[in-house]
A and B are shown apart, each in its own frame.
Chain A
Amino acid sequence: MSEPVLEVDNLSVTFRTRNGLAQVLDHVSFSLGQGETLGIVGESGCGKSMTALSIMGLVPTPPGRIAGGAVRLRGEDLLSAGERRMRSIRGNEISMIFQEPMTSLNPVFTVGEQIAETVRLHEGLSQRDALARAVETLKAVGIPAPEKRVSEYPHQLSGGMRQRVMIAMALACNPSVLIADEPTTALDVTVQAQIFDLLRELQDRTNAAIVLITHDMGAIAETADKVVVMYAGRIIESGTVGEILADPRHPYTQGLIACVPHFLANPPVERPPLVEIPGLVPPLSDLGTGCAFAPRCRHVMPRCRGERPPLMAAEPGHEAACWLLDEAVPA
């Protein structure tokens, strides 16, 4: 892998809430290169979506505040870029697809108009050329009869079609980074599989870097190259998909993998009880000084409550923020 396309470096974001200052992102770092897919996993409220919004420069300020760090697109720091520059980047060099395709499309414009709008904004094409491009992109995302669909309204399309349109919109300007926030949660499995196939195929063609935000370990296993696991605003484990799934080192990651009944080719006759992660995600305004997962952790040690573990290397390229690693590999 050469130069990373997207680099998030020690990004910290705080939110002012009624209960005090909440650290929604705490020194989050990762990078990804061309054609790579990074999966971000975690429970709701762990900072997955906030990471995406920060990359897009869409954190609402106030109540939010970028407390530190950098987001770099091919070396250019986006956090210090002006709003004008960000507008030219959003939807053009970095685009995003959302969970709910119905509410993310504007119901009063045709599908074609919405795609054309993006292209005209960023590439200054004429209405006619932009519409031609819209038809082209719809075709690229596998929508049958794109010449006809281009003049239809969002409500005339099925859920899967709408998500394809969202992807077409996101891809219209050939972005170098695509952020997909739970792109298939609202869809049926068969359609979900089509969408993932489509994303992979488009990635092969355009070499875009994809950030896939999901809670579905199966989806991660099948699409991502690298994974970061987030908990309470921090990255608590990162590594390649193979390493994380086969040998998770952080007790939270282990719990996340074990608590879901995974779909198997040949289900075993015996069904042992599922492993539970007890308790709830702590409020972000009250995390204390120790490991945020300590209250729910089955391996908790006295040290965990007082001292926050940094990310430590478990093996090259595989890091976890857990004192168990420190015990295992004495310095």
Chain B
Amino acid sequence: MTGTEQVAAPEEPGAAPLKVESPIREAWRMFLRNGSAIAGLVLLIGVILVTFIGPQVYPVDPFEIVWAPLTPPGVDASIPFGTDYLGRDVLAGIIHGGRATLAVGASAAILTVLIGIVVGALAGFYGGFVDEILMRLTEFFQVLPPLLFAMVLVALFTPTLTTVAVAIGVVSWTQTARLTRAEFLKLKQLEYVTAARAIGSRNGRIIWRVILPNALPPLIVSATLIIGVAILFEAGLSFLGLSDPNVMSWGLMIGSSRSYIIDSWWAVTLPGAAIFITVLSVSLIGDGLNDALNPKLRER
């Protein structure tokens, strides 16, 4: 066969502008266009600043009795948020207690996501027998009442921050596992996964390096929301008296003042507001990420 045509020319004649934008940067740009997500981010940065720099600026020991018990806010400039039933400074509690709450929330969320991703990825990728076993296990954890189960775990071991974080992680990974599995089931059928096999990639590489990065967007979103859930969970456990009594946290504040809620609304409401603001900011960020990472919502 004869032919003298040149080797196929590039489709676009002339140099098209080379605009290199990684998917992550593109998502970030989308995120920045979302007003409420930015508000959430600003709020969260504020919360983090207050809890991590605040103790230096406001070095009052939250366990120290500084004033008469049950003093409402505004009585004295040195105790702007008033005192609780023991005469401890509520503002000091909020500033110092944030660290424990955030730490437990974040580490519980990380643990949740890690367990969930490993279980979900293996179940979704291998399917069949592996899937059956792992999904029955997931169902087992799913039908346990989470708060009760976490209470049992904490009660069995010493109630430290670590125990609380682990307990929360152990009871809340099931949702992430199901989400990961669903993503894997969908993605493993795509041709680029077959292409990875055709060039001789091993299963481990395909699971962690090929499929997982593509499954991440919904997982990141759910992980963000899980931080909020974990913070609430920690507050719940503390409220029930099942957290480390020697470490101040927002939940502990609410829990210990619960009997005095009629006499000192501020000692319960103000830490509650701190939790509310934190969870709200994380949820707004999660929503923003969802929009930014979901290509279907992006205009072309």
Contact = CB atoms under 8 A, between A and B. Distances in A.
On whether A and B touch (CB less than 8 Å), the answer reads yes
A273 interface: yes
Interface in A268-308: 270-273, 276, 278-280, 295
B18 interface: no
Interface stretch (B4-12, B58-66, B127-135, B288-296): B4-12
Contacts of A278: 9, 11, 13
Contacts of B299: 17-18
A279 B1 contact: no
Contacts of A271: 1
A250 B300 CA distance: 31
A233 B121 CA distance: 46
A17 B11 CA distance: 24
A263 to B, nearest CB: 19
B3 interface: yes
A279 B12 CA distance: 5
Given A17-B299, A18-B299, A273 B3 contact: yes
A317 B1 CA distance: 40
A278 B13 CA distance: 8
B299 to A, nearest CB: 5
A295 B9 CA distance: 15
A17 B299 CA distance: 8
Given A17-B299, A18-B299, A273 B5 contact: yes
Contacts of A280: 11-12
Nearest to B10: A278
Given A17-B299, A18-B299, A270 B11 contact: no
B289 to A, nearest CB: 21
Nearest to A276: B8
Contact of B1 (A17, A18, A270, A276): A270
Nearest to B13: A279
Interface in A220-279: 270-273, 276, 278-279
Interface string B1-29: 10101001101110000000000000000
Contacts of A276: 8
Contact of B3 (A17, A272, A279, A295): A272
Nearest to B16: A280
Nearest to A296: B13
Contact of A279 (B5, B8, B11, B300): B11
Contacts of A18: 299-300
Contacts of A279: 11-13
A239 B270 CA distance: 77
Nearest to A275: B5
A273 B3 CA distance: 7
Contacts of A295: 13
Interface string A195-221: 000000000000000000000000000
A209 to B, nearest CB: 34
A279 B11 CA distance: 5
Contacts of A270: 1
Interface of B: 1, 3, 5, 8-9, 11-13, 299-300
Given A276-B8, A278-B9, A279-B13, 6 more contacts: A18-B299, A18-B300, A270-B1, A271-B1, A279-B12, A280-B12
Interface of A: 17-18, 270-273, 276, 278-280, 295
7 contacts: A270-B1, A276-B8, A278-B13, A279-B11, A279-B12, A279-B13, A295-B13
